[in-house]
Amino acid sequence: MIVFLLLLLGAVMNDTSARDVISFNTGWQFKKGPFSTDPMRASAQWDGKWEEVTIPHTWNAKDMQVKADAFYEGVGYYRKKQFFGNELAGKRVFLRFEGVGACTEVYVNGKLVGTHKGGYSAFAFEIGTALKLGAENEIIVKADNTARPDVIPVNHSLFGVYGGIYRPVWLITTEQNNITVTDCASPGVYITQKNVSRRSADITVKVKLDNGSLAPAQLVLENSIYTQEGKKVVSQRLPLELTPQGTQSYVSTFKLKNPHLWQGREDPYLYKVVSCLLANGEVIDEVTQPLGVRHYEIVAGKGFYLNGEKYPMYGVTRHQDWWGLGSALTNREHDFDLAQIMDVGATTVRFAHYQQSEYLYSRCDTLGLIIWAEIPFVNRVTGYESDNAQTQLRELIRQSFNHPSIYVWGLHNEVYQPHEYTASLTQSLHDLAKTEDPDRYTVAVNGYGHANHPVNQNTDIQGMNRYFGWYEKKVQDIKPWVEGLEKDYPWQKLMLTEYGADANLDHQTEYLGDALNWGKPYYPETFQTKTHEYQWSVIAEHPYIIASYLWNMFDFAVPMWSRGGVPARNLKGLMTFDRKIKKDSYYWYKANWSKSPVLYLTQRRNTDRERKQTSVTVYSNIGTPKVYLNGKELTGIRKGYTDVHYIFDQVTLEKGKNKIKAVAVYNGKEYVDEIEWDYQSEKKRDADAHENKNEHGGVSKCAPSFF
């Protein structure tokens, strides 16, 4: 299984020499603007002034993360000198970029070989005719992350578009006849499935072929399906004559009997589809793609169904950037993020607000995460972005078509005025998605809670972002909101696509009201915890919310903001930007979602206690815990919002250090969590910011018990 996924990513060459896919990430030089003259003409004068870099690379790894509205937005140049030998004579040569922020021009030996607009989708250019074989060649890439009205996103307001070649680059070499490389940089193979059940499934494999010569070729296309263990299940050979007049499509159909279904996290079983192109009995090209046999269905008011079984949609969202790295990530960072998402117990991920790494999507296939992929049509419209939005959607769909983990294409997020333009463009995007891929859902997201908003109801699913208690109203207003929609719009396929609150770990208090003025510089972690505790309990009781996606799994950069005491940062993550600290809310969801044992005392960082009489909260999914204060067992435990939520009220602290210990026994094993608080005297916080009492308590010097 690992081998065929690596083949999918181009990291391993095929057994034959038909198609070579090699990493093209080393030996690059970089020069950052701004430039006073035409850089292409001046590049020869920069010798000795280039910086040696390795791809992935971004020039905004630091400045976009530390100070609001103070980052470099503009042009950067990359140069690579590469020897291409005469053995490439008669071959076709391509460069494939997985992601460049955000608009790109690629030159080979001074010749423009292609341009691309959009910072998140892959693109591929054929460069063979511009090469000098048997000599050193110069490749120059111009990258520009300047916000512009005709390329989405049209600004840096919700997140920053990091500049540079921040995802891998591949050099692909094929014979003259190949499985197309330049069909929106897709694999050239498209797998669809119909009538999926445990008895059978109808599988269609469409392959796009390209003849780069000036003569028709007599070829054979062989499509085969293999089990995860490597056994060939079915195969079909199609003799064909491939003419040079454009890309040609060929289709094989199969009926899989008694298929092993892809069942999410429970059993993410993957077949593989191998498409081989043969000439005179020899393989001249080959592409391998994953096949997860599954069927998704959404029933309004009831929920999400996977292969006919109701499936829990425990959702998180993820921005791709890391502290100190920006968007220039390796597979190690992607794997780390996915490990945290799996650990918290999530079953579905909204990858927001743009196309993310191919490797990431492939790992979700193998992990069984059900995912939402979307384009960066966010925040604002200009009236000039229509063509580019459609291009980026087409690229997303074709490049990601075969990932069984993807169930929906996201078309826009919080885009409004002018309503008529936005609604019309959303309808066009929906039509495009259904033309490219009739079998998946579409979704658009609104930041208002009204089903009848002028830009709504233009996609299969209506997403709504709701931040009760943070941007509007009170934490508890989520309940009447969803119950009102249930009553008035029972037919609507609704998803709660963002909710939550910021949490600065340096801000701690026991005094919390039911709403927080997010414009103030004080963002206590305890308010985030309170928000998630109550709002998840409401979500869990309302199947009308087909899926929910908390915002966000990780803190991330917002280079135009300065709020909550940390410049250029959105603090709504369950984990900190550097991925070093898991906030209390992380363990709330892990206790509610995960099958792993969790015993956790909350308010671990709120060490300076403000009240002598307080409350202690424990999350435990392994039964009722016993809790001790300074060695004495506490009494009066009660259940909170869910079955894993335990609260001790009216706990009286001693002056000085107070040690709290929680103990639970599960399957014969004892789990322990210990924290320490300090109480000196009663303290009253600003009543305007903190008007009501909280029902939590806790801070730790010891690691929690979670396995």
Give per-10-residue mean pLDDT for the chain (707 aa). Answer: 39 55 98 80 75 97 93 96 97 98 97 98 98 97 97 96 98 98 98 98 98 96 98 98 95 98 98 98 98 98 97 98 98 98 98 98 98 97 98 98 98 97 98 98 96 96 98 97 98 98 97 87 96 98 98 97 93 98 98 98 97 98 98 97 98 98 97 98 66 31 30
At residue 272, the 3 state secondary structure works out as: strand
- For residue 693, what pLDDT is reported? 32
Q: Do domains 312-584 and 613-679 have the same CATH topology?
A: no
Q: Domain residues of the chain, as ranges?
A: 19-174, 189-291, 312-584, 613-679
CATH of range 613-679; options 3.30.420.40, 1.10.10.10, 2.60.40.10, 1.10.238.10: 2.60.40.10
Q: What is the CATH number of domain 312-584?
A: 3.20.20.80
Specify the residue for token string 């890439």: 141
Query: What's the order of all strands across the beta sheet hosting 626-629?
Result: 608-609, 669-679, 656-666, 626-629, 632-633
Nearest to 317 by CA among 561, 589, 508, 540: 589
Contacts 24+ apart (CB under 8 A), 638-644: 640/533, 640/695, 641/533, 641/534, 641/536, 641/537, 642/536, 642/537, 642/540, 642/592, 644/591, 644/592, 644/598, 644/619, 644/620
**Who contacts 435 (Cβ-Cβ below 8 Å, separation ≥6)?**
none
- For residue 520, what pLDDT is reported? 80
19-174 has CATH 1.10.3210.10 classification: no
Count of Cβ atoms closer than 10 Å to residue 412 Cβ: 28
- DSSP secondary structure string, 365-414? HHHT-EEEEE---BS---SS-HHHHHHHHHHHHHHHTT-TTEEEEEEEES
- For residue 42, what pLDDT is reported? 59
- For residue 517, what pLDDT is reported? 77
Cα 568 to the center of its chain, rounded Å: 20
189-291 has CATH 2.40.50.140 classification: no
Please give the backbone phi and psi of residue 256, each rounded to the nearest 5 degrees, phi first.
-85, 125
The residues annotated as belonging to the active site are 414
